[in-house]
Amino acid sequence: MARRRERKFGTLIWRRLVRMLITIVLVVTLTYLLLDLIPGNPAYSMLPQDQLTPANIAQVDHQLGLDKPFFARMGLWALHALQGNLGVSYQNSQPVASLIVSRLPVTLELMILAQLIGLVLALAIALVSVNQRRKVTSGFSTLFTVISLSLPNFILALVLVLIFAVKLHWFPATGFTPLSQSLSGNVSSMILPSLALGVGTAAVYAQVLSAELSKTLQQDFVQFAIAKGLPRRTVLLRHALRPSALPLVTLAGLNVGILLGGSFIIETIFALPGIGALAVNAIYSKDYLVVQGVVLFVTVSYVLINFAVDLLYSVVDPRVRRNAGAS
């Protein structure tokens, strides 16, 4: 019986893997197609007016690979992409791939901090809102969640800057201090940006966690734990929380996409040297290859992350294990 279960599990993974790979292939295709969307010849938008000579245009065409038939172009580009060659930035002649890699750590740090803030804040909110006794604080937490869900992150960012950077002078409004330089400087420059992203995240997580927690608290085993004379906190944290937190795992994976998108704006506002700011600046300067490279990198990463989360979830969920092994 156990072996059959494992075999089923194996085919499930295999099927998901194939699906994921197909998705990636299509993503690559679509991303490459972006270039074809540009009305007219991209060279015209990239080159300044006085440099629109046929020679320059031809050069840009060649750089973007536009002088070859479509499938050849795409195949070549995909091949290069696999090898880590995403072209060269038109602006500063640096390889796109190395630009991305050099700026990746900043975005990673931002996203990790935002996730952490989101999870911790959501936990606090969910625990507070479940405690019906303290009506005031639970009312506040509901209000907070409702407001945060409707507040766009860039508006929140501006408000945070106004209060904490301009009026209180606690943190810098823009700029980034790398970890290697100074830990406190790094934290100080990252607090406001990660809050701007993390608060919205927390609201989403808190909603789900509260709902799951309420559901779990109705179950018999929670009441048994209460009847055992255990204190409220123990019942909540040790008994009710663990099964309620499971859906958050998948949610956190899905949320990476939202955080990635959010990083584009937040990095721009706070002048953080991350991938998002890289892409936005490339958009301003019509550096199409860079934009393409970032979109490809970000999307493929997102697909891979979700695949990993899916796998993790089906392995970790005791209910799945339990159903397979129930007597």
Partner 1 sequence: MALLSAAGVCTSFVTDRGLVRAVDDVHIELDQGQVLGVVGESGSGKSVLVRSIMGLYRLDSRAIRRGSIWFDGTDIAALSARQLRDLWGPQIAIVFQDPMSALNPVMQIGRQITEMLRHHLGVSRSAAAARAVELLDSVGVPDPARRVREYPHQLSGGLRQRVAIAIALSCEPRLLIADEPTTALDVTIQAQILRLLRDLQERLHMAVILVSHDFGVVGSLADEVAVMYAGHIVERGRAEQVIDRPAHPYAGALIRSTPRLEVPPGERLPTIGGRPPNLLALGPGCPFEPRCDRRLPRCRDQRPELTAGAGGHLSACWNPIQDPQSAITSPDGAQ
Partner 2 sequence: MVGTGQELASGTGIVYAEARPRSRRRPVTLYIALAWLGVVIVAAVFANVLPIQHPLAINPAVSYQSPSAAHWFGTDQLGRDLFARVIYGARISLIVGITATALAALAGALLGLLGGYIQGTTDTTIMGLMDVLLAFPGIVLALALTSFLGASVRNVILAISVLSVPVFARLTRSVALSLSQREYVQVAKTLGTPAWRIIVFELGPNVASTVLAFVPVIVAVAIVIEGTLSFLGIGVPPPTVSWGSMIAQGQSVFATAPYMSLMPAGAMFATILALNTIGRFLNRRSDRGRVI
**What is the DSSP secondary structure assignment for residue 66, as one 8-state letter?**
T
d(CA 239, CA 230) in angstroms, rounded, equals 10
The H-assigned helical ranges of the chain are 2-37, 42-46, 54-64, 70-82, 96-130, 135-150, 153-160, 183-217, 220-227, 232-234, 241-270, 275-284, 288-316, 318-325
Residue among 55 and 166 whose Cβ is closer to partner 2? 166
Does position 231 interact with partner 2 (CB under 8 A)? The reply is no
302 binding partner 2? (CB under 8 A): yes
Which does residue 318 touch among partner 1, partner 2, none (CB within 5 to 8 A, set by kind)? partner 1
Q: Does 314 bind partner 2 (CB under 8 A)?
A: no
Does the footprint of partner 2 cover residue 39 (CB under 8 A)?
yes
Contacts of residue 323, Cβ cutoff 8 Å, sequence gap at least 6: none
Q: Is 150 in the site for partner 2 (CB under 8 A)?
A: yes
230 binds partner 2 (CB under 8 A): no
**123 lines the binding site for partner 2 (CB under 8 A):** no
**Choosing among partner 1, partner 2, none, which partner's interface includes residue 239 (Cβ < 5 to 8 Å by kind)?**
partner 1
Q: How far is CA 83 from CA 28, 78, 229, in A?
A: 14, 9, 62
CB of 230 to partner 1, least distance (A): 6
Bridge-partner residues for 95, per DSSP? 88
The C-alpha atoms of residue 246 and residue 93 are separated, in whole angstroms, by 46
User: Interface mask (CB under 8 A) for partner 2, residues 175-214, using x and -?
Assistant: ---------------------------------------x
Using CB under 8 A, which of 257, 271, 273, 311 touches partner 2?
257
Using alpha carbons, select from 258, 293, 264 the residue that is nearest to residue 281: 264
What's the number of CA atoms in the CB half-sphere (13 Å) around residue 102?
Answer: 8
Which residue in 136, 220, 231, 327 binds partner 2 (CB under 8 A)?
220
* Contact partner, 291, from partner 2, partner 1, none, Cβ < 5-8 Å per class: partner 2
Chain positions contacting partner 1, by CB under 8 A: 132, 219-221, 224-231, 234, 238-239, 242-243, 318, 322, 325-327
CA separation for the pair 148, 142 (Å, rounded): 10
Longest dimension (CA), the chain: 84
Q: b/e for 62-76, b at 16 or more Cβ within 10 A?
A: ebbbbeeeeeebbee
What does 264 interact with, of partner 2, partner 1, none (CB < 5 to 8 A by kind)? partner 2
Yes or no: say if 129 and 210 are a contact pair by the CB < 8 Å rule: yes
> Which residues contribute to the site for partner 2 (CB under 8 A)?
19, 22-23, 26-27, 30-31, 34-35, 37-39, 130-132, 146-147, 149-152, 154-155, 158, 161-162, 166-167, 214, 217-218, 220, 223, 226, 232, 235, 256-258, 260-262, 264-265, 268-269, 279-280, 283-284, 288, 291, 295, 298-299, 302-303
